[in-house]
Amino acid sequence: MKRLATVVIALYVILGVSAQDNNTYFFGYLSYEQALKSMRDYAFMQKKMADLEAQYQAETKRAEDEFNRKYEEFLDGQREFPKTILQKRQTELQELMEKNIAFKEESRQQLATAAEEALAPLKTRLAEAIAKIAKEHGLALVINTDSDACPFIDPTMGEDINQLVQNALK
């Protein structure tokens, strides 16, 4: 880890000195999240995902309502049921509860998969735009500034390409 830090610092110093000499930049920086959200198709994808999530939530509510209804029927009749019917109803309730739990977990996984699949073409398009701009501007690398990954960047040594990328995606 120390070795990597030393290499990064050395590269930064070397690139910084060269950038000042040539008045050019060797790296660019942008907010990947901001660029992604600026894409036209992003809002459509978000709406599509919200609709899908609403469908899963509606089905979950329907299943919960069915379970609650059956549980109330069980509670109302449990004193009058013979032992075998009581056990059968308990087993049915247990199975229904397990199915509902499994459905909730499966729907979380399905939503995550659907989100990944919906974002994939947007991320590909964004990566292509970043690469094109980096090549056009002679940038050796592009840094993602999201999540405080890079709390300080000297603007005299790097180029802010946020607007360039957003314009390229329109």
Domains of the chain: 19-169 (3.30.910.20)
Query: What is the pLDDT tens value at each position of the chain, 170 positions in all?
Result: 555 445 456 555 555 555 445 557 789 999 999 999 999 999 999 999 999 999 999 999 999 999 999 999 999 988 898 999 999 999 999 999 999 999 999 999 999 999 999 999 999 999 999 999 999 999 999 999 998 888 888 888 899 999 999 999 98
CA 120 from chain center: how many Å? 11
What's the pTM value of the predicted model, to 2 decimals? 0.71
The single-letter code of the amino acid at 102 is: A
φ/ψ of residue 41, rounded to 5: -75, -15
Which helix (H) or strand (E) covers residue 144, if one does? strand 141-144
